[in-house]
Amino acid sequence: MTPRELAHREAMRLPLATIAERLQDILGQQITAYAVELRDPRAIGKYARGEIKTPRTETGKRLRQLYVVTQVLMTRETAETVRAWMVGAHPLLEDRAPAELLHQEKYPPVERTASAEAPDTRSGYQSVIDAAEAFVGSR
């Protein structure tokens, strides 16, 4: 299994409280909340402690997607590098930060400027996970 497949399997099996706790440990509350489009970063801590048992369906989906991305990166990088990668401009993402693309998931996906092909129709998540795999060299 690839790191992405393993991360996806784990993300689907873990309780959201565990996912929120791990994301909080790796990325911190602010980056995690921004990436999953939560206004209050403290909500991540509440999810992690189990104070909020059932988040909105979309929030749960976004937390699981963010978890997959971070776990792919964590196969070869430190938490500090993963945090920097999430908020830094990335050339495969038109110099946008991965956290920004995940935050704006509901908007049309970004076209890749490095390609002369037709516009990229991948979602923000798909673009970010592909860039994460390329970054750690698993593609």
pLDDT tens for 79-118 read 999 999 999 998 888 899 999 999 987 533 333 333 333 3
Q: Are 40 and 33 in contact (CB under 8 A)?
A: yes
pLDDT tens for 37-67 read 999 999 999 999 999 888 888 899 999 999 9
Q: Which of 99, 81, 87 is closest to 33 using CA atoms?
A: 99
| Phi, psi angle pair for 79, to nearest 5° | -60, -40
What is the Cα–Cα distance from 132 to 126, expressed in whole angstroms?
10
Please give the model's pTM, rounded to 2 decimal places: 0.83
The predicted pLDDT at position 109 comes to 39
What is the Cα–Cα distance from 67 to 19, expressed in whole angstroms?
7
Mean pLDDT of 117-139: 72
